[in-house]
Structure formats: C-alpha cells, structure tokens
Amino acid sequence: MKFLPALLFVTLAVQEPTFVNARVVDKRQTTIDVNAFMNKQTFISWVGLYRNVGNSGDYARNVDPGGVIASPSMSNPDYYYQWIRDSALVFKVILNQLISGNSSVEVHLKNYVAESNKLQHTPNPSGDYYSGGLGEPKFQVNGTAFTGSWGITKDIPQLDGPALRAIVLIEYANTLLDRGGDTRYVTNNLYQAVLPYNTVIKADLEYVSHNWHVDNFDLWEEVNAQHFFTLMVQRRALLAGAELVDRLSDGGAATWYRQQADAIGGVLPRFWSSSKNFLQATLNQSNRQSLDCGTLLGSLHGNGKRGWGIFPPESDEVLATLDALVNVFKSLYPINSNGAPGVAIGRYPEDTYDGTGTSVANPWYLCTFTTAEIVYNVVKRYEDVGYITVGAKSLNFFQRFLPSATSGATYASGSANFNIIVNGMLQFADDQMGRAAYHTPDTGSLSEQYSRDNGFQKGARDLTWSYASFLTTAWARSGNVAF
C-alpha cells in the first residue's frame, strides 16, 4: 500500500510504574516495530496453522487428513476437535495460498473435500445427512460424532458452518473450473445437479437454503436466535453458489438460491439500530447490547475481496460498529490503559467466558486482528475507488482521524484530507497490530485470549483460528485482501 512507509514504528508511552533500578528496562523506551512483527509472525503463523492440520501437522498426526483441530489443547479447555466453522476459516486461508500460486497446498484441499464429505455423512446429535446433521458444529478428530455432554449447544445446530464451508469449496470449484480439465472432479465431488443431493457443496447449499430462517446458535455457540454473522455468510454462500450452479447448468437451483439470498438480504437491514448507532449481532436480546466483534467478522466473511453487496467493511454501518466496539473495549479492559498502542478487543462486552470456564472474559487475538483487517480492507477500497465519502453514521469514526470531517463530505484521492484519513486509518490498524504484538510472546504462539488485567495468554493454546486470522490480516495490510 502506498502509505505504509510512513508508519514503520509505533512508540510506546507505557504508564506502568517506572523502576529506580537502572538495569531494569523502562518500557517507555520500547518501540514496537510493526513491520518486523508482521514478518516474523507471518512465518510463525503458517507453521502454527499447518501444525494443526491433519494428518501431516505435528499436533494433528491422529487427525483425519483434511481435518483441523481447533487447538492442540486436550484439557482446560479441551479443543482437540474439529469445528466446522474453524476448519472452513482455516481452509479459506489455505485456498487463498493456492490461488496466490502455491500449488503444493492443493493436497490439503483435496483432503478437506473428502473429510467434509465424511463429516456430512456422519450421523450426529443434530441428525443425519438428509435430516439436519449438517448443522452439527463439532466432530471428533477421526470424524466420528461428538456425543458427550457439552453445555447448552449440544443438539442445536449452528448454521454458519455449512455456509462457510460452501463459500470455501465454491471458490475452490471455480478455481478448478478456471484452470480447465478438472470438471469431472468438480461434478463428482463438489457439485452435481441432482436431488437428493450427493455432493458436498450441493448438500450445504440445500441445507442453508432450506433452513436459514430457523433460529440457531451463533458463532460463539451461546445464543439461539437469528444472527448477523450467520445470515451474512449464508447469503454469500447462496449467491456464490448460484453463480457456480450457472456454470454447471443447474438453472432451477440457481434461481432458488438467489431467491433465498434475496430474502436474507431483506432481513439483514433489521440488524441496524439507529438508536444504538451500530449493527446488532442478534435481534431482541434483553441481556446484551449485541455489540459484538462477530458483526465485523460477518462483514468480512460475507464480502471478501470482491464484495457481495451488503454491509461491506467500508459501509457506513460497519465503520460505525467498529468505532463503537473500540470505544466499549477501551474502557472495559484494564490493560487498555497501560500505554501500549491500540485497543485490545474481545468478543462482546458482556462476555464471561474466560478461556476455560466462566468468570470475566478477556480480549481475543482474532478480534483484535479483525479490527485491523477491516480497516486495511477499507483503505484498499478507498485507493481502488479514489475517494472517501463520510457517512452520517460513521462520522465519529472519521473524526478520529480528521476532526473537521463532516457528514456527507467526499475527499478525493490526492487531496490533503484524503491522505490524512488514509494515513490515520493505517496508523490505527497498525496500532491494533502493535497491541497484539505487545501481548504476543517471543515464540509467536497465539492462544485464544490474553488477560484483560496483565496481557498474558489465556484459554486454548495455539488456536488455529488465531493464526488464520493473523494471516488474512497480514494479507489485507499488504493490499491483497482474501477472497
């Protein structure tokens, strides 16, 4: 990105007590070099991600090929399972690597297709292949069903998983078709135009298109209702699916998927609250504001590089929501006043999941990265279109960088105000990465959470999704937004 060179260093002004002993490093002298962190952490994140991918990864030798463990942690908490959601988000990164020219990773994608087919056919507490089993969020590492007791979420489907898996596999099918010569693999394994369905993508699209309106658990596996994140990724899966199906001449299905996607598009605007001035994660929650990082994730994964036409990162509503999230977490977590750059971000302010049980919740690496990823995406968009328009809802966000910004103003590329906003936004995003860097140990290991009080790691260690989220953020920072 053009403006990056100005942003090499983020200087800390740490307000912790200083030490009289001169040999103790005074952290106010510490400088976080965000570029150096990004480089080092990119390498470490690739290693960390692949270590959890079956069955070649060091931590995943006993995992099915194409299966991904959420974390190698087997107790406190036990995350040694494959979650449909986490796996899809990890394979999104692996597929993006393939699309960027690394053909050596293709074996993993083929394994993922086979494992997805196996999990779809595994009868589980949510049902079987034709009766709801596709909504099951979590399986054993050898592909058998998870039947143990597990809080409130057991037996209740989570409808984001099949949509995320479809988004990844549709992109893979398109990649294969573009390449030519792989049509038979696609129609045998990924999408065959028959009912009852018998291929992975068709199964997920049928499931999503017939069930999206049903209440289901959110991405955090806690609330049974309709969710912004889930609807965003369902809509994208159906629209992308309709395009694939057009290529494969299944016209009737394309029409049905588009109709359902349009219906979802009609529901999504209800998540905007004009009184709160943010997009709510879930409607009608009495015990939460519904200000939630999952909303930002819904914007990212429901749009991606190309954009699918509703609530993209650069929309007025998403920027307003990001602004509100940063404000709420800034004052909620004690570490946010320690003088390190940026703001540590968690899932949602009322959260009580501390990584192993319930007490007080903490910031998450992937949520902190997501605030940066959104902003890097938006800057890329501004550079592409050549102007910034300040919306009424996101005015506070823009005034962080340009206090004189006014609602409705347009700043063209090359103007002083355009540069001030873009540079300010890149600094903001780099500060978010600097914040994560500040709480990352030298080994580069990324757990799920880090303590709200002292920044040390909490929860599942080496969370695969933390690495995946870092990598998509690093791509966005270099202007190469993931699909």
- The verdict on 219 binding ligand NOJ (CB under 6 A) reads yes
| Binding region for ligand NOJ (CB under 6 A) out of 79-87, 243-251, 327-335, 378-386 | 79-87
Residue nearer to ligand NOJ on the CB measure, 138 or 235: 138
Contact 241, 170 (CB under 8 A): yes
Q: How far is the CB of 182 from ligand NOJ (least distance, A)?
A: 31
At residue 389, φ and ψ (nearest 5 deg) are -115, 130
Q: How far apart are the first and last CA of the chain?
A: 18
Check the CA dihedral 383-384-390-392 and report its sign.
negative
Name the nearest CA neighbour of 70 among 62, 78, 80, 60: 80
b/e burial code for range 58-74 (CB count within 10 A of at least 16 → b): ebbeebbbbbbbbbbbe
Contact 427, 439 (CB under 8 A): no
Name the nearest CA neighbour of 160 among 95, 93, 222, 228: 228
Residue nearer to ligand NOJ on the CB measure, 160 or 314: 160
Q: How far is the CB of 361 from ligand NOJ (least distance, A)?
A: 8
- The verdict on 83 binding ligand NOJ (CB under 6 A) reads yes
337 token code pair: 């006043």
Nearest residue to ligand NOJ, scored by beta-carbon proximity = 353
- The verdict on 292 binding ligand NOJ (CB under 6 A) reads no
| Binding region for ligand NOJ (CB under 6 A) out of 78-86, 250-258, 264-272, 332-340 | 78-86
List the one residue from 64, 86, 171, 317 that touches ligand NOJ (CB under 6 A).
Answer: 86
**Rounded distance, CA 98 to CA 100, Å?**
5
Would you call 76 helix, strand, or coil by DSSP? coil
**Rounded distance, CA 322 to CA 295, Å?**
9
Q: How far is the CB of 460 from ligand NOJ (least distance, A)?
A: 7
- The verdict on 77 binding ligand NOJ (CB under 6 A) reads yes
Residue nearer to ligand NOJ on the CB measure, 323 or 351: 351
Size of the site for ligand NOJ (CB under 6 A): 12
- Footprint of ligand NOJ on residues 338-397 (CB under 6 A)? 353
Cβ neighbours of residue 103 closer than 8 Å, sequence gap 6 or more: none
- Footprint of ligand NOJ on residues 443-482 (CB under 6 A)? 465
Check the CA dihedral 462-465-467-473 and report its sign.
negative
Contact 230, 220 (CB under 8 A): no
Within 10 angstroms of residue 323's Cβ, the number of other Cβ atoms is 21
Q: Which residue do the tokens 């540069």 mark? A: 419
- The verdict on 220 binding ligand NOJ (CB under 6 A) reads yes
227 token code pair: 């969710």
Catalytic residues: 218, 221
User: For residue 151, is it left (φ>0), alpha (ψ between -120 and 50) or beta?
Assistant: left
Q: How far is the CB of 70 from ligand NOJ (least distance, A)?
A: 4
List the one residue from 136, 171, 206, 221 that touches ligand NOJ (CB under 6 A).
Answer: 221
Q: How far is the CB of 84 from ligand NOJ (least distance, A)?
A: 9
Q: How far is the CB of 294 from ligand NOJ (least distance, A)?
A: 9
Residue nearer to ligand NOJ on the CB measure, 272 or 348: 348
List the one residue from 106, 128, 182, 222 that touches ligand NOJ (CB under 6 A).
Answer: 222
Residue nearer to ligand NOJ on the CB measure, 246 or 354: 354
- Footprint of ligand NOJ on residues 55-74 (CB under 6 A)? 70
- The verdict on 204 binding ligand NOJ (CB under 6 A) reads no
Residue 104: its H or E element: none
Q: How far is the CB of 11 from ligand NOJ (least distance, A)?
A: 34
Q: How far is the CB of 431 from ligand NOJ (least distance, A)?
A: 25
**Rounded distance, CA 280 to CA 291, Å?**
6
Residue 155: what residue type? D
Residue nearer to ligand NOJ on the CB measure, 79 or 272: 79
- The verdict on 79 binding ligand NOJ (CB under 6 A) reads yes
Binding residues for ligand NOJ (CB under 6 A): 70, 77, 79, 83, 85-86, 219-222, 353, 465
